[in-house]
Structure 1
Amino acid sequence: MSEIKNIAQKYTHWLLMLLFAVAYLLPLNNRMLWIPDESRYAEISREMIQRGDWIVPHLLGLHYFEKPIAGYWLNSISQLLFGESHFAVRFASALSAGLTAWLIYWFSQRLFHSQKKAIAAAVCYLSFILVYAIGTYSVLDSMVTLWLDLTLVCFYVSLQANTSRQKLAGYALMGVAAGLGFLTKGFISLAVPVIVALPYLFYRRQLNELRYLWIALLTLLLVSLPWAIAIHLRAPDYWHYFFWVEHIQRFSGADAQHKAPFWYYLPILIAGCLPWLGLAPAALKQSWRTTSIRPVVMFLLFWLLIPFLFFSIAKGKLPTYILPCFAPLAILLGYGITELLAEKRWRVIRQNAWVNMAFGGLLLVAVLLLGSGIMGKQPLYLANDHVALALAVLCFAGWLIAGWFSYRKPAQSLYLTALCPLALGLLLGWSLPTSLINSKLPEAFITQHQQELDSSRFVFSNDVGLAVSLGWQLKRDDIQLYGVDGELAYGLADSSQTDKRVKTEDFPAWLNSARQQGNVSVVTRNKPGELPKTLPAADQMIAQQNFTLLYYRQAMSTDKAENSAGDSTGNKHE
C-alpha cells in the first residue's frame, strides 16, 4: 500500500499537468468566438501581425486604446505559433491560468513544506468554476492575474528573505512582474499589490521594508518605459485617454461602465468557489485554527479581502475583475482540505458532495424544463437542437456524477471533486442552443455566406461586435459601421477614415454611389424579423434569427449600361 502511495506522489505532477491539458487546452478549439470580447482580442492581434505594428493597437484599422500592449503581444505570438485558430486566440489565457496554478503550487509548498497541500491548492484553483471559465475564454484577466499573483508572491518571499542580496533579487522580480501586469492592463496592476502590501507591512510593523522599494520601481520602469515612450511618440493622446477614460471614468466616474451595487461580487465569489463551496467554510476555519501558520493566513486574507473590497467600492464592475482573489483562496482551501482529509472528516467532505450533486441536479432539471418548453415562453432548444440538448444534459449530469463519486469515496474526493466541471468545459461548445449561437456567435452565419461577403467591395454592420467578427472571419480590417460607433467611438473620432462610419440617414445616397464600385454587403444584428427601417431593398436578403445579410450587387454606370445596350442591339442587327 505504501508503494502505491509513493508511486502516486511521484506522478502527482504529471496528473496535475494532465488535468490542465484535458480541462484547459483540449476544449479551446471546440467552440466559436463569442462577441464582443473574444472576437475583439482575436482581431486586434491579427491586425498587429498583418500590419507589422507591435506598438499601436488597432481594431478594424482604427486606434484602439482601451488596454496596453502585452496581452495583444501574447495573443499575436500564439497566432504566429498556432495559426489564426480558436485555439491560438484562447491559448495565452489558458497558459496564464496554468502558470498561475504552478505558482500557487510552488508558493504553497514553500509556505507549508507539504506537497499534498501544494497539489490541493493547485487543483482547487484549476477547478474553481470562475477560474475555469475565464481561463478558457479570450480576455486579458487571466494574464493580468498571473502577473498580479506573481507580484504579491515576490513581495512575501522578499519579506521573508534573510539577506539583502535575496531581498534585492526578490524585489527586482517583483518589479518585473508588476511591469508586465502594467503592460497588460494598466494602472490597476500597480494599485492592487500596493493596497495589499502596505496594510500588511503596517500589520507586521515592517515599514522599514519600504527602503527596498526603489529596486522594484527601477525594474518596473525598465520593463514598462520602452513601450510607454514608444506609444507616446506614435500616438501622443494615448495616455490621456487611457488614464482618464479607462481608469478614472470606468471605475469611479458618474458614467462608469458596467455599474453595479456594492454587494455585486459577493454572490460571484460564492458561486465562483464551486465545486468547493460546501467545503470552503470548514477548510477556511481549519486554516485559521492552526496558530502555527497564522502570519501566513493573515497575508493570504489581506490578499483575498482587500482587493475584494476595493473592486466592490468601484462603481464599474465585471465578474472577471476579482479573479486575483482566487489564488489566496485556493491556497487557504488547499491547506484546510488536506487537513480535513488527514483527520478523516468524512461528514464535512460529504456535505460538499451533496452541494455538488444538488447543483448538478438542479441545472440538469432546469435544462430539461427550459429545453422542452415547460418553463419559459418558448423552448430554449429548437426542434433541430436535440443533439445539443442531449450534450447539455451530459454537461450537468457529469457534475452530478462526479459529486456522487466524491460522496461514495471521500478519501479520493480531492480529485473526484475537481472533475465536476470537466464535462461542462469539454462539451459546452457543442451544447449551445441555436438561439444563443444566432445571438452571440456569428461565425457560423458568416461562414455560411462567405462567398457573398468575399465578393463584396464594401462590408457594413450595425453592431460593433459583429463587425469585428466579420473582420476576423474575412481577414480584412476595412469593415464599415452603419449608424453605430460603440467602443470604436474614440478611434473613429481620431481617424482620417471619414467613411468608416456612415449615418443611417446618409446610407441610401452613399449606397447608390458605392454600388458603382462593387458589391455591397450589410450584415445586421437585430431581433428576429426586424431590420433598420432606413435600409433600401436589397437584391438578396438572408435572415437567420438575429443575423441578416443584405446583399447589393454592383450597379452598372450609365455609360456602361448604354454601351451594353448598344452592343446588344448591334448583335441582334447582325
Structure 2
Amino acid sequence: MKPCLPLSRARPLWLRDARWELLLFGVFALLLLGLGIGLRDPWPSDEPRFALVARLMVEHGQWLFPHRGHELYPDKPPIFMWLQALAYLVVGNWRVAFLLPSLAAGLVALALVYDLARRLWNHRSALLAATALLLTIHFTYQMRNAQIDPLLLGWITLANYGLLRHLLLGPAWRWFAVGCFFAGVGVATKGVGVLALLMLIPYLFARRRGWHRLALPVGGWRWAGGLALFLVPILGWLLPMLLTARADGDPQHAAYVQNILFGQTVHRYATPSGHFHSPFYFLGIIAADWLPLSLLLPWALPAWWRRLKRHDARFLLPLGWIVLIVLFFSFSPGKRDVYILPALPMMALALAPLLPGLLRRRDVRATVFGLTALLSGALTLAAALALHRHPAWAGRIEQSLDPQIWWLLLSVGVAGLLIVASTRVRRAPLGWLLFAGVLWGLYGLWGYPMLNGDRSAYDVMAKARGIAGPDATIGLLAWKEQNLLMAQGPVAEFGFLKPWPQQYADAITWLRQAPAQRWIFSLDEAMGSCVDRHHAIHVGHANRREWWMFRADAVIPGCTPGAGTDEDDTP
C-alpha cells in the first residue's frame, strides 16, 4: 500500500488546492445538517421523549435511572440523553442542545469516511464519497433529527474506522483498540452497537483465502486486549447502575435493570411488538431512502464484483459488513428504516474509488438529472394543485400541517426546476447538490418555524396556560411527552404508562382536592363520555389529536371512561 499523500500535495477535485476543497465541504456540510437549529423544539415521535428525559436529568440529578415524568424510562440506555444534557449545560438552550449530538455524529461520520477513503485511495475519491454520503436523503434527514440512531451511526462509524485502519492499513493496534472501544460505546447507547465487530468476519475470510490489500497483524494477546476494551464502556455504565439498584433495593430499579438488559434487546429482536415487515423490506429502503446513492448501484455492483474477483480486501470488508448488517436485521420480524442506517457510511466508502469514473458517464449523469427533475416537478405540481384546486388529499394533509407548507414546497420545486434548467445533464451531480441545499435550507429556516407550533405542541400548551391562568396547576391526562415538555407553569401528571381509566380516576381525585386552583388537560378519547363538553373548553388540535381542558364542574359523577389506547406519534 503506497503511503497517503498529505493534503498539500493531493490532486484537487475542482479547486487549485485540496485543502480549500475540504474546508468548503466542511462549511457546506455544517450548513446542510445544521441550518434551523434553534428554530424549533423537539418533534414527535421520539425527540420529545429523549429531550424530556434529558431535562429531568439536569433538573433532578437522576443520571443512572432516567425518568419520563415520575415514572422510570427503561426503553433505552441513557447515553444519548446524557449527551443532550451535557450539551444543554454547555450552551444553556434546549432548542439548540437537543440537536447537537446528532449534528456532531453526522459531521464526525463524514470526516471519517473522507479520511479513510483518502488513505485507501486518494483525495478526489474521498471527497466525492463524503459528498455522496452527505447528499443521500436518508443520511441528511436522520442527522437533522434528535434520535438515538444518528448517534449510533456515529459510534459504529468510529468503530469501523478504527477496525479498518488496523485490518487494511495496519498493523495499528491502537486503532484496533479504538474500534473495539467505540463498538462498546455503541452497545451502551443502543444494544446493536456490537454489530461493528462483525467486520472481523469478512476479515478472517479474506485472511484465510490470502486476499490482497490486507494487513496481517500478529499477536494473540493484542487481539484479546483490544476486544477486552469493548467491555470497558459497557461496564462503565452497567456496573454503577447494577450496584445502585442492588444497594437501594428499590423494586422499580430492579424492574428497570431487567427491562433494559433483556426486554429491550434480545426480547425486542426476537419478539417485537410492532413494525412488522417482510424479509425484503430493507431492499426497498435502500432503493428509495438511499437516493441518489442507490441510483449508482446498477453500475457499482458489476464493478464491485470485478474487484472482488481480484481479491481486493478494500471492497470485501465494507461490503461484506453491509451484507451481514442487512441480513441480521432482516431475520427479525420487526424492522424500521433506521436499523440499517449505520451501513450508509460503509456504502459510501466502497463507492469511493468508483465515483470519479461513474460521474463522468453520461448515463449516470442523466439518471441523477432525471431524479432531480422528477422530484422538483412533483413538488411543484403537488403544491400548485393544493393551492389552486385544493383537492381532498390536500385537505387531509392540512389537518396535521400548516397550510403554508404548500408555499414552502412550491418554492423548493420551482427552485429545483431552475437548477435543472441551468445545470442540465452535463452538470447533473452539481444540480443535485444545489437542489439538496435549497431543500434542506428552506426546510430548516422556513419549515421549522412554520411547523413548530403544532408539531411540538408548543401552541396548544401555551393556549392551555392562557385558559388556566398563571397560577393554576394543570393536570395532564393521557398526555404525550411533548405535552409535559412544552407545558408552561405548574403542572401535575398521573403516570404515562398507566391505563387511561386509572389516570382519569387519579386525575378526578386530584382535581376535587382543590377545584378552584386546578384544571385537567386531556386527550379527547381519554375523557370518554364522563366529561360534559358543554362545560369543557376545546384547546385545539396538535399532533393529530384533539385536546380539552375542564374543571370539576364538567365531571359527570359516577362515570368511568372505558379503556383506551393511543397510537404512536409519527414524524
Q: TM-score, normalised by structure 2?
A: 0.82
- Residue number among 152, 161, 177 corresponding to 1:144 in the alignment: 152
Shift of 1:474: 2.9
Measured against aligned partners, the alpha-carbon deviations of 1:12-55 in whole angstroms (never above 9, x if no partner) come to: 11111111221111122333421231111111111111112322
Give 1:125 deviation, angstroms. Answer: 1.1
1:522 maps to 2:526:
no
Matched, 1:534 2:530: yes
| Structure 1 residue 367, shift from structure 2 partner | 3.5
CA distance in 1 between counterparts of 2:394 and 2:367 reads 36
Query: Is 1:30 paired with 2:39?
Result: yes
**How many Å apart are 1:447 and its aligned residue?**
2.6
120, 128, 135: which one aligns with 2:128: 120
Larger Cα-atom Rg:
1
Say if 2:359 is the partner of 1:354: no
Structure 1 partner of 2:190: 185
Q: Is the CA contact 1:385–1:433 (under 8 Å) kept in the aligned structure 2?
A: no
Q: Sequence identity of aligned pairs in percent? A: 20
- The Cα of 1:129 is off from its aligned counterpart by 0.6
Structure 1 segment 72-471 matched on structure 2, within 5 A: 72-112=81-121, 114-160=122-168, 162-163=170-171, 166-167=172-173, 169-186=174-191, 188-190=192-194, 192-205=195-208, 212-234=222-244, 235-253=253-271, 255-290=272-307, 294-341=312-359, 344-370=360-386, 372-374=389-391, 376=393, 378=395, 380-381=397-398, 387-410=404-427, 413-428=428-443, 430-431=446-447, 440-452=455-467, 454-463=470-479, 465=480, 468-471=481-484
Show the 5 A alignment for 1:540-559: 541-545=537-541, 546-552=545-551
CA deviation after TM superposition for structure 1 residue 313, in Å: 1.4
Structure-2 change in CA distance of 1:5 and 1:330 (3 Å): closer
Which has the higher mean CA deviation after the structures are superposed, 176-185 or 511-520?
511-520
Alpha-carbon distance change, 423 to 403 in structure 1, aligned in 2, over 3 angstroms: same
**1:385 Cα deviation after fit:** 5.4
Displacement after TM superposition at 1:287 (Å):
4.7
* Amino acid corresponding to residue 34 of structure 1 in structure 2: W
Equivalenced residue count is 522
Displacement of 1:258 in angstroms is 2.1
Opposite residue 247 of structure 1, the aligned amino acid is T
Provide structure 2 residue ranges, at least 5 long, that are not aligned to the other structure: 1-10, 209-215, 245-252, 555-571
Distance in 1, matches of 2:255 and 2:291, equals 43
Task: Work out the CA distance in 2 between the residues paired with 1:128 and 1:88.
Answer: 25
**Deviation of 1:224 (Å):** 2.5
Secondary structure of the 1:29 match is: coil
Q: Structure 1 514/339 Cα, relative in aligned 2: closer, same or farther at 3 Å?
A: farther
SS of the residue corresponding to residue 373 of structure 1 reads coil
**Aligned-partner Cα distance in 2 for 1:523–1:502:** 12
Question: What amino acid maps onto 1:233 in structure 2?
Answer: L
Q: Match of 2:68, as an amino acid? A: L
Against the structure 1 CA distance between its residues 354 and 377, is the aligned structure 2 distance closer, same or farther, given a 3 Å change threshold? Answer: closer
| Cα distance per residue 1:349-370 (max 9 Å; x no partner) | 1222112211332233234335
Change (3 A) 1:239 1:536: same
Distance in structure 1 (CA, Å) of the matches to 2:42 and 2:153:
22
Q: Measure the CA separation in 1 of the matches of 2:462 and 2:54.
A: 21
For 1:68 and 1:377, locate their aligned partners in 2 and report how far apart those are by CA, in whole Å. Answer: 40
Q: Distance in 1 between matches of 2:483 and 2:465?
A: 10
For residues 111-149 of structure 1, the C-alpha deviation after alignment (integer angstroms, 9 at most, x for no partner) is 11x111111111111111111111001101111111112
Q: Aligned partners of 2:142 and 2:219: how far apart in 1?
A: 35
Runs of at least 5 residues in structure 1 that lack an aligned partner in the other structure: 493-499, 556-574
Per the alignment, do residues 35 and 10 of structure 1 end up closer, same or farther by CA in structure 2, a change over 3 Å counting? closer
C-alpha distance in structure 2 between counterparts of 1:20 and 1:14, whole Å: 10
**Aligned in 2, Cα 1:117/1:479: closer, same or farther, shift over 3 Å?**
farther
**Matches of 1:521 and 1:35 in 2, distance apart?**
22
Which deviations, in whole Å up to 9, do the C-alpha atoms of 1:148-188 show, x marking residues without a partner? 1221222222223555xx32x122112221121122112x1
Q: Say if 1:350 and 1:406, in contact at 8 Å, map to a contact too.
A: no
Helix, strand or coil for the counterpart of 1:11? helix
Letter in 1 for 2:330: S
Cα distance in 1 for partners of 2:449, 2:421 equals: 28
> 2:379–2:412: 8 Å Cα contact kept in structure 1?
no
Over the residues paired in the alignment, what is the CA RMSD in angstroms? 3.4
CA contact (8 A) 1:104 1:122 kept: yes
Query: Distance between the aligned counterparts of 1:294 and 1:3, measured in 2?
Result: 26
> Could you say if the C-alpha distance between residues 301 and 402 of structure 1 is closer, same or farther in structure 2, counting changes exceeding 3 Å?
farther
Q: CA deviation at 1:309?
A: 1.6
Rounded to whole Å, the distance in 1 between the matches of 2:219 and 2:418 is 51
- Residue 406 of structure 1 deviates from its aligned partner by 4.3
Question: Taking structure 1 as reference, are residues 512 and 122 closer, same or farther at Cα in structure 2, changes over 3 Å only?
Answer: closer
Pairwise CA distance, 1:211 = 5.3
Q: Distance in 2 between matches of 1:91 and 1:552?
A: 40
Q: CA deviation at 1:312?
A: 1.5
Residues of 2 paired with 1:357 and 1:42: CA distance?
38
CA drift of 1:386 comes to 5.7
Superimposed CA distance per residue, residues 427-463 of structure 1 (whole angstroms, 9 cap, x where no aligned partner): 23544899x8787432222233333465332421324
Q: 1:4 to 1:160 in 2, by over 3 A?
A: closer
- CA gap of 1:356–1:517, structure 2 versus 1, over 3 A, is same
- From 54, 60, 75, the counterpart of 1:66: 75
Cα distance in 2 for partners of 1:237, 1:385 equals 42
Q: Which has more helix, going by share of residues?
A: 1
User: So what's the TM-score if we normalise by structure 1?
Assistant: 0.81
* 1:304-349 residue CA offsets vs partner (Å, 9 max, x unmatched): 22101211211121111111110111123332221234xx322321
1:265 maps to a residue whose letter is F
State the match for 2:5 in structure 1: none
Q: 1:514 to 1:122 in 2, by over 3 A?
A: farther
The letter for the 1-side match of 2:369 is A
2:562 match: none
Note the alpha carbon deviations across 1:446-494, whole angstroms, 9 max, x for none: 233333465332421324x2xx21222237896424xxx7xx53xx6xx
**Greater CA deviation, 390-399 or 265-274?**
390-399
- Aligned-partner Cα distance in 2 for 1:334–1:141: 24
Mapped contact 2:473–2:491 kept (Cα < 8 A): no
Q: Cα distance 1:67–1:331, how it changes in 2: closer, same or farther (>3 A)?
A: same
Distance 1:156 1:386 in 2: 49
Residues 1:96 and 1:79: Cα distance change in structure 2 (over 3 Å): same
Structure 2 counterpart of 1:258, one-letter code: H
Q: CA deviation at 1:404?
A: 4.5
CA apart distance, 1:233: 2.4
